[in-house]
C-alpha cells in the first residue's frame, strides 16, 4: 500500500529515487512523485498520475537535481489517483512529506488547520501531515523535534519521510503501523518501505520498530523510540540479491514465480524435516511446549493467505485432531469473538504487514493473555514476525507479482508441517503416518514440475475464455479452498467474474448460473469424495456448460462433449493434492489474463502489500 523511498548522498539522488520507485510499484501504482532539495535549497517537486514511468518522463534530469530527496508511488485511499493527490505533499515550500498508511483523524485535523489558515490543494489525508509539521516547526528546534511533536496528534497508520529547506541535510522518518527500513550506505543513507528498493546502494539495513522516529543525515542515523528516547537498533545484512527481484527470461513476475514453485517448496522444506520426521523445533524452540498445551486453533488471514488457512483447517482437524476455526482478519478484528484459553492463534501472511491481520493479532493479545501466537510468513523482518510468539518462515523468496502464487503453495507446505508437528505433540500421528506425509512432501518439487509441464494444454483451454465474463470453480473438501484460490486468481488478473462453490452446494442455488457462456472448472483428485464430485459434474454437464476438469490420472472422469479433462498427477495424498492442483489453476488464470490483455503483474486497483484497513 504505497511505496516510499528517500535518501541523502553525495551525488544527484533523483535516479535512485526513480529506480527505487519502480521496484516499489508492487505496493501501488496509480500515481507517483518525488521532491528534492535543489542547489538553491528549495523544494522541487515532480508528480504524475499513473505509473512511475509517467513520472520519469516528466523529469528533466538537468533541473531536477539534488543530493537529498524523497519519493512515493501511491495506492489511493483518500482522493482519486490524480496528479494533485499524488505525493509528495508540500506545505508553504517549507515541508515536503511522503506517507504510506491512513490518518484516521484527518478530517478533525483538517478542520483545525483550515481554521488556522492552511490551504489544502489535495483531497488526501497526507496533506494534514505536511501542515501539522509546518505548524510544529514554527516553535521547534529543528525538523526532528517538529516531527516528534506532530506525530503525537495523528491517529491511524503511517510510515512517513519528511524533508525541509529549514533543516537541510536531514531526512526525518517515522513509522507506526506501516513498514520502514533504513539503508546504511557507504556513500549516503537511505530509507524505503521495503529493502528491495535499496539493493543497488546497500545490503545493510535497520528495520525500524513501531513508533520509531529517525533522523538521517549523510553520515549519521539517530533513532528515537515512541517515548522520544534515543535507542540503538541493530544493522542487519540482507541476503537478497538483485537477480532475485528481476524477471530474468520470463515475460512477467507472476510467470516466473509460478515456475519457481518447485524450488520455493524445496527451500521451505529444507532443514525442517528429516527423512521421515517433521522437526517441531523449526517452529521455534518453545514450540513443543506450546503445541502440547494448545486445545484450540484460530486462523486469521486475508485473500490468498486465507485460502491457505481454509485448507489447513481440514488438515489440523484431520491430522492433529484440534478444533480449528478460520476467519478473514477484517471481520474477526471488529467483532467480539470468544477466545478460549490455550488457543493457538495462527496468522498467515506473505508480507507480514497486512493491516487487518496484524491488528487482529494485536486485538487478540489484548483480550486474552493466555493465547499463543504463531505466524506463517514470507518476510523475516515484518511486523507479524516481530509481534508473534512463534514464527515459521515460508522460504518462497521475494514475490513481486501482485497475484500471490509461490507464497500460497509454500504456505500450504508450512501448514502441512504444522499439522504433523501439532498432531505428534498430541499423540495423534503415528510414525508411519508421519513418514508417509514427509515422503509425499519431499516428492512435491518433482510433482509440481510435472504439473507445470501441462502448460501447453492449458494455453489452448485459456483461448476459450476470450469472450467469457463469468466462470465457476468447483471442488470438494480441501479442494473447495483450492477452487476458491483458482477463482480469486482468475478474477484479480483477468477481471473475469469467478466464484467457487463446494460442488455439493451447486444444486442449492448456484446451478441456476450455468449456461454455455459460463465455463465450469473443477479439480478432481482421486480421493474419497471423487464419486460424489463426478455426480455433481454430471449435473453441471447436463445443463450445457463448457467444462474443464483437472484430474488425477486415476480419477477417470468420463469423457463427454464439451468436457476437457487434463490429467495433472496421480495417486496423491490428502496433503499433496491441494498443493499440486493449485498449479493448473494458476497457469489458467495467467494465460487467460494474457489473452484478455490485462496487466498481469499489476492488476487494476490492487496492491501487493495491504497496509491499510
Size of the site for ligand F6R (CB under 6 A): 15
Q: Which residue is nearest to ligand F6R (CB)?
A: 303
Q: Do the strands 230-231 and 221-224 form a parallel or antiparallel pair, or are they unpaired?
A: antiparallel
Name the one range near ligand F6R by CB under 6 A: 177-185, 291-299, 345-353, 545-553: 345-353
Using the rule CB under 6 A, is 546 a contact of ligand F6R?
Answer: no
Phi, psi of 501 (to 5 degrees): -135, 150
Q: Which of 404, 419, 494, 602 binds ligand F6R (CB under 6 A)?
A: 404
Between 69 and 159, CB nearer to ligand F6R = 159
* 302 interacts with ligand F6R by CB under 6 A: yes
Stretch that binds ligand F6R, among 214-222, 300-308, 422-430, 580-588 (CB under 6 A): 300-308
Could you say whether residue 261 binds ligand F6R (CB under 6 A)? no
Nearer of residues 484 and 514 to ligand F6R, judged by Cβ: 484
For residue 357, the minimal CB distance to ligand F6R (Å) is 5
* Sequence-ordered strand ranges (E) for 245-323: 296-301
CA distance 548 to 519: 8
How far is the C-alpha of 281 from the C-alpha of 278, rounded, in Å?
Answer: 9
Least distance from C-beta 106 to ligand F6R, angstroms? 24
Q: Which is nearer to ligand F6R, 86 or 264 (CB)?
A: 264
Active-site residue among 22, 67, 468, 608? 608
Interface of this chain with ligand F6R, residues 135 to 164, rule: CB under 6 A: none
Residues 191-230 that bind ligand F6R (CB under 6 A): none
Which residues, 6 or more positions from 49, have their beta carbon under 8 angstroms from its beta carbon? 30, 31, 81, 82, 83, 86
**Cell numbers 500471490 label which residue?**
404
Least distance to ligand F6R, CB of residue 496, Å: 15
User: Residue 96 or residue 179: which is nearer to ligand F6R going by CB?
Assistant: 179
- Residue 293 designated active-site: no
Nearer to ligand F6R, 113 or 411 (CB): 411
Of 347, 349, 377, the closest CA to residue 362 belongs to: 347
Which residue in 613, 593, 246, 291 sits closest to 429, CA to CA? 291
Q: Cα(359)–Cα(177) distance, rounded to whole angstroms? A: 9
How wide is the angle at C-alpha 13 spanned by C-alphas 223 and 143, nearest 5°?
35
Nearest to 43 by CA among 117, 4, 97, 82: 97
Q: Cβ closer to ligand F6R: 91 or 488?
A: 488
- Binding residue (CB under 6 A) for ligand F6R from 492, 527, 552, 613: 492
109, 245, 374, 403: residue in contact with ligand F6R (rule CB under 6 A): 403
Q: Rounded CA gap, 32 and 51, in Å?
A: 7
Helix H segments across 426-520? 431-452, 455-463, 478-494
User: Which residues in 581-610 contact ligand F6R (CB under 6 A)?
Assistant: 609-610
Q: Which long-range contacts (CB under 8 A, 24 or more apart) does 319-322 make?
A: 319/419, 319/420, 319/423, 319/428, 319/429, 319/433, 319/437, 320/419, 320/420, 320/422, 320/423, 320/426, 320/428, 320/429, 321/423, 321/426, 321/428, 322/294, 322/295, 322/296, 322/297, 322/422, 322/426
Can 2 be counted among the known catalytic residues?
yes
Beta strands in 53-163 (DSSP E): 66-74, 89-91, 95-103, 156-163
Tell the smallest beta-carbon distance from residue 353 to ligand F6R (Å): 7
Shortest distance in whole angstroms from residue 302 CB to ligand F6R: 4
**Residue 127 within binding range of ligand F6R, rule CB under 6 A:** no
Strand-pair partners of 237: 204
Work out how close the CB of 305 gets to ligand F6R at its nearest, in angstroms, rounded to a whole number: 4
Q: Binding of ligand F6R at residue 330 (CB under 6 A)? A: no
| 305 lies in the binding site for ligand F6R (CB under 6 A) | yes
Taking alpha carbons only, the member of 283, 268, 288 closest to residue 411 is: 268
Nearer to ligand F6R, 136 or 304 (CB): 304
In terms of CB distance, is 254 or 417 closer to ligand F6R? 254
Kindly state the smallest distance separating residue 567's Cβ from ligand F6R, in Å.
Answer: 26
C-beta of 370: minimal distance to ligand F6R in Å?
26
Q: How far is the CB of 73 from ligand F6R (least distance, A)?
A: 17
Stretch 348-387: interaction string toward ligand F6R, x if CB under 6 A = -xxx--x--x------------------------------
- Asked whether position 304 contacts ligand F6R by CB under 6 A, the answer is yes
- Chain positions 500 to 539 lying near ligand F6R, rule: CB under 6 A, are none
Active-site choice (2, 302, 377, 379): 2
Coil, strand or helix: which one is 500?
strand
Cell of 353: 504487514
Nearer to ligand F6R, 188 or 352 (CB): 352
CB atoms within 10 A of CB 323: 14
Using the minimum distance from each CB to ligand F6R, give the nearer residue, 6 or 478: 478
Choices 136-144, 161-169, 194-202, 344-352; region in contact with ligand F6R by CB under 6 A? 344-352
Residues 469-488 that bind ligand F6R (CB under 6 A): 488
Instruction: Give whichever of 31 and 609 is closer to ligand F6R, judged by the CB atom.
Output: 609
- Measured in whole angstroms, the distance separating CA 596 from the mean position of its chain's CA atoms is 24
In sequence order, which residues have a C-beta less than 8 Å from that of residue 460 and are 6 or more positions away? none
Residue choice 303, 337, 525, 584 for contact with ligand F6R (CB under 6 A): 303
Pairing state of beta strands 3-9 and 31-38?
Answer: unpaired
| Alpha-carbon span 5 to 191, nearest angstrom | 6
Contact residues for 138 (Cβ-Cβ < 8 A; gap 6+): none
Residues that bind ligand F6R (CB under 6 A): 302-305, 349-351, 354, 357, 403-404, 488, 492, 609-610
Active site residues: 2, 608
Amino acid at each position: 500500500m504505497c511505496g516510499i523511498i528517500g535518501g541523502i548522498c553525495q551525488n544527484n539522488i533523483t535516479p535512485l529515487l526513480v529506480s527505487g520507485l519502480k521496484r516499489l510499484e508492487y505496493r501501488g501504482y496509480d500515481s507517483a512523485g518525488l521532491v528534492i532539495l535543489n542547489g538553491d535549497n528549495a523544494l522541487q517537486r515532480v508528480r504524475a498520475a499513473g505509473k512511475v514511468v509517467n513520472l520519469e518522463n516528466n523529469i528533466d534530469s538537468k533541473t531536477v537535481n539534488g543530493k537529498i530527496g524523497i519519493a512515493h508511488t501511491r495506492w489511493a485511499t483518500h482522493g482519486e489517483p490524480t496528479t494533485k493527490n499524488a505525493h509528495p505533499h508540500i506545505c508553504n515550500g517549507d515541508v515536503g512529506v511522503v506517507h504510506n498508511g491512513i490518518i484516521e483523524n484527518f478530517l478533525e485535523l483538517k478542520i483545525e488547520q483550515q481554521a488556522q489558515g492552511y490551504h489544502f490543494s489535495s483531497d488526501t489525508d497526507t496533506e494534514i501531515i505536511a501542515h501539522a509539521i509546518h505548524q510544529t516547526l514554527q516553535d521547534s528546534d529543528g525538523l526532528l523535534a517538529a516531527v516528534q511533536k506532530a506525530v503525537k496528534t495523528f491517529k491511524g497508520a503511517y510510515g512517513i519521510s519528511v524533508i525541509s529547506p529549514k533543516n537541510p541535510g536531514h531526512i526525518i522518518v517515522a513509522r507506526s503501523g506501516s513498514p520502514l527500513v533504513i539503508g546504511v550506505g557507504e556513500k549516503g543513507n537511505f530509507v524505503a518501505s521495503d529493502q528491495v528498493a535499496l539493493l543497488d546502494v546497500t545490503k545493510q539495513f535497520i528495520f525500524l520498530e513501531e513508533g520509531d522516529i529517525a533522523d538521517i543525515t549523510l553520515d549519521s542515523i539517530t533513532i528515537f523510540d515512541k517515548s522520544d528516547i534515543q535507542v540503538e537498533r541493530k544493522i542487519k545484512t540482507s541476503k537478497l540479491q538483485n537477480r532475485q527481484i528481476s524477471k530474468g527470461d520470463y515475460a512477467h513476475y507472476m510467470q516466473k514465480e509460478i515456475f519457481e514453485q518447485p524450488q520455493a517448496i524445496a527451500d521451505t522444506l529444507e532443514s525442517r524435516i528429516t527423512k521421515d520426521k517433521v522437526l517441531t523445533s523449526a517452529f521455534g524452540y518453545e514450540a513443543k511446549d506450546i503445541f502440547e498445551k494448545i486445545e484450540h486453533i484460530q486462523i486469521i488471514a486475508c485473500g490468498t493467505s486465507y485460502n491457505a488457512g481454509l485448507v489447513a483447517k481440514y488438515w489440523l482437524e484431520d491430522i492433529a485432531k484440534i478444533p480449528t476455526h478460520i476467519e478473514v482478519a477484517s471481520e474477526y478484528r471488529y467483532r467480539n469473538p470468544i477466545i478460549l484459553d490455550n488457543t493457538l492463534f495462527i496468522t498467515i501472511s506473505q508480507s507480514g504487514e497486512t493491516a487487518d491481520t496484524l491488528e487482529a493479532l494485536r486485538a487478540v493479545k489484548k483480550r486474552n493473555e493466555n493465547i499463543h501466537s504463531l505466524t506463517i510468513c514470507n518476510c523475516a523482518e515484518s511486523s507479524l514476525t516481530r509481534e508473534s510468539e512463534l514464527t515459521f518462515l515460508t522460504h518462497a523468496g521475494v514475490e513481486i507479482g501482485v497475484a500471490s502464487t509461490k507464497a500460497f503453495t509454500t504456505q500450504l507446505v508450512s501448514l502441512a508441517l504444522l499439522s504433523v508437528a501439532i498432531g505428534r505433540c498430541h499423540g495423534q500421528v503415528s510414525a508411519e503416518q508421519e513418514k508417509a506425509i514427509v515422503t509425499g512432501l519431499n516428492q512435491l518439487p518433482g510433482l509440481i514440475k510435472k504439473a507445470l509441464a501441462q502448460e501447453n494444454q492449458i494455453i489452448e483451454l485459456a483461448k476459450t475464455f476470450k469472450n467469457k465474463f463469468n466462470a465457476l470453480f468447483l471442488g470438494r473438501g480441501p479442494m473447495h479452498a483450492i477452487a476458491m484460490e483458482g477463482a480469486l486468481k482468475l478474477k484479480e488478473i483477468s477481471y473475469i467474474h469467478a466464484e467457487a462453490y463446494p460442488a455439493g452446494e451447486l444444486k442449492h442455488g448456484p446451478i441456476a448460473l450455468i449456461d454455455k457462456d459460463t465455463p465450469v472448472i473443477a479439480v478432481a483428485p482421486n480421493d474419497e469424495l471423487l464419486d460424489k464430485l463426478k455426480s455433481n459434474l454430471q449435473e453441471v454437464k447436463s445443463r450445457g456448460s463448457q467444462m474443464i476438469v483437472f484430474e488425477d490420472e486415476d480419477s477417470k472422469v468420463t469423457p463427454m462433449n464439451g468436457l476437457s479433462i487434463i490429467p495433472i498427477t496421480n495417486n496423491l495424498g490428502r496433503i499433496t493434492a491441494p498443493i499440486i492442483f493449485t498449479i493448473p489453476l494458476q497457469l489458467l488464470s495467467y494465460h487467460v489474463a494474457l489473452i484478455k490483455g490485462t496487466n498481469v503483474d499489476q492488476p487494476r486497483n490492487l496492491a501487493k502489500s495491504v497496509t491499510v484497513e
